[in-house]
């Protein structure tokens, strides 16, 4: 019989690792582990490498430490100068952010395997991993990250695990209008590729991917007290999808103006022999086409999160949200964090601030700040 964990965190990315660290501090005697086949933040690093990200979009206040101002203090103590902080919003460099995260997560206990199956067994959860080992836990947190790469085209995606830009110069078309697309277009042009960037519209400027007031009680309090329909409406209006922070917007605007990156508008490009069809008889010739079109809102169908939600008789709505109670439970002792928990955590549920909000909810159970209450309608998401 396997040991009984108090908490088992399925997924060791930004959300899972931060929540694990926060739970360990709130209850030092608790037993917990992260179940993930990859090291902490491995998927984050892979995506950041692919895009050539140098600075985070999130401000420095949204970090993975446990104390306010911790990232700033860490940067000062380890010799990170002003060049590691971008703009008046103090977005940290990726180098600083990851160095700090490595220190924060260095001592987290890990089980190096993927979760394959979850089932309720009386008062605990049984989790079977990819090696066939069964684990028991009083509480399980599903922190499996974003959905699958969104694929409007049958072409390589920047978030594919094996993505790589060509080594020799080629004519490339980059499809996608958000931050990842702009970053990969800039990166490809900087190393000498011919680049044409295809977007639905010319991107708008927004420093952050969601309205900043949802980081705190000013907007989050009314949001959490609103009706389900109103919360769904706010999630759509408060998220700034397809926007660029001013620094990236200025860089790619200058590159387009200088002719080092071409730009074409097209709502629904399609692949054709040797390039991309923009409609109206217009074809862009390209040696390779890459898409940087974000993630699907839903977890992949074969993921442990999607299968578990289905087995519980629950469901995701059109935007990938699932009903959860104030403690982020979708079933007794089973919690979900990240973007699927947006109906509780608000528009920032999927980003770094969302990880901190999730940790506040779960540690609130330990400290008594929150008490478990049954979800009044756990099956209703529409």
Question: CA separation (Å) from 94 to 77, 91, 98, 147, 249?
Answer: 17, 9, 6, 23, 19
| Res 68 pLDDT > 60 | yes
**What does the pLDDT average to over 272-300?**
93
pLDDT at 382: 46
Confidence of residue 376 (pLDDT cuts 50, 70, 90): very low
Q: What angle do CA 220, 223, 226 make, to 5 degrees?
A: 155
Dist CA 364 CA 350 (whole Å): 20
pLDDT at 2: 66
Neighbour count for residue 241 (Cβ, 10 Å): 13
Tokens of 41: 């933040």
Lowest-pLDDT range of 103-117, 186-200, 292-306, 363-377: 363-377
Q: What angle do CA 44, 318, 352 make, to 5 degrees?
A: 25
Nearest to 165 by CA among 46, 293, 290, 284: 290
DSSP letter for each residue of 153-187: SSS-BTTSTT----SS--EEEEE--SHHHHHHHHH
Q: How is residue 6 annotated by DSSP?
A: E
Confidence of residue 116 (pLDDT cuts 50, 70, 90): very high
Q: Give a three-class secondary structure readout of 31-54.
A: CEEEECCCCCCHHHHHHHHHHCCC
Dist CA 12 CA 111 (whole Å): 10
Q: Give a three-class secondary structure readout of 214-269.
A: HHCHHHHHHHHHCCHHHHHHHHHHHECCCEECHHHHHHHHHHHHHCCEEEEECCCC
Of residues 237 and 380, more confidently modeled = 237
Confidence of residue 367 (pLDDT cuts 50, 70, 90): confident
Of residues 382 and 110, more confidently modeled = 110
Neighbour count for residue 269 (Cβ, 10 Å): 26
Average pLDDT, the chain: 93
DSSP letter for each residue of 260-317: SEEEEE-SS-EEETTEEEEETTEEEE-SEEEE---B-SSPPTTSHHHHHHHHTT----
CA dihedral 298, 300, 301, 304 (to 10 degrees): -110
pLDDT in tens, 204-243: 999 999 999 999 999 999 999 999 999 999 999 999 999 9
| Res 374 pLDDT > 80 | no
Domains of the chain with CATH codes: 4-40+105-147+296-367 (3.50.50.60), 149-203+242-294 (3.50.50.60)
Confidence of residue 366 (pLDDT cuts 50, 70, 90): confident
CA dihedral 100, 106, 109, 112 (to 10 degrees): 90
Tokens of 116: 């394959």
pLDDT in tens, 12-37: 999 999 999 999 999 999 999 999 99
- The reply to whether the predicted model has a pTM over 0.75 is yes
| Res 151 pLDDT > 50 | yes
């Amino acid at each position: 019989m396997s040991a009984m964990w108090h908490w088992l965190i399925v997924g060791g990315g930004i959300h899972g690792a931060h929540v694990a660290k926060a739970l360990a501090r709130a209850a030092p005697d608790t037993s917990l582990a992260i179940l993930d086949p990859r090291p902490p933040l491995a998927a984050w690093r892979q995506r950041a490498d692919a895009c050539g990200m140098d600075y985070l979009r999130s401000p420095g206040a949204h970090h993975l430490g446990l104390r306010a101002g911790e990232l700033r203090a860490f940067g000062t103590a380890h010799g990170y100068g002003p060049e590691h902080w971008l703009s008046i919003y103090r977005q940290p460099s990726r180098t600083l952010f990851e160095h700090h995260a490595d220190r924060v997560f260095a001592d987290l206990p890990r089980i190096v395997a993927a979760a394959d199956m979850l089932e309720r067994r009386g008062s605990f959860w049984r989790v079977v991993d990819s090696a066939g080992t069964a684990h028991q836990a009083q509480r399980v947190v599903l922190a499996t990250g974003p959905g699958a790469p969104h694929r409007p085209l049958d072409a390589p995606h920047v978030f594919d695990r094996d993505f790589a830009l060509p080594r020799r110069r080629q004519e490339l078309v980059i499809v996608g209008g958000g931050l990842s697309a702009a970053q990969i277009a800039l990166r490809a042009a900087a190393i000498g590729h011919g680049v044409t960037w295809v977007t639905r519209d010319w991107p708008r400027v927004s420093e952050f991917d969601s309205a900043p007031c949802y980081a705190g009680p000013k907007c989050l309090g009314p949001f959490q007290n609103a009706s389900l329909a109103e919360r769904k409406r706010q999630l759509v209006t408060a998220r700034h999808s397809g926007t660029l922070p001013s620094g990236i917007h200025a860089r790619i605007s200058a590159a387009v103006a200088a002719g080092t990156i071409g730009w074409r508008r097209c709502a629904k490009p399609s692949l054709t022999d040797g390039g991309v069809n923009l409609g109206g008889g217009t074809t862009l010739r390209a040696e390779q086409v890459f898409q940087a079109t974000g993630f699907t809102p839903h977890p992949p169908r074969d993921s442990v999160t999607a299968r578990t939600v289905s087995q519980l008789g629950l469901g995701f709505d059109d935007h990938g949200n699932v009903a959860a109670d104030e403690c982020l439970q979708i079933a007794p002792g089973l919690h979900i964090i990240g973007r699927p928990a947006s109906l509780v955590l608000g528009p920032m549920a999927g980003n770094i601030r969302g990880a901190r909000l999730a940790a506040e909810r779960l540690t609130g159970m330990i400290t008594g700040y929150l008490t478990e209450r049954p979800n009044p309608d756990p099956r209703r998401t529409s």
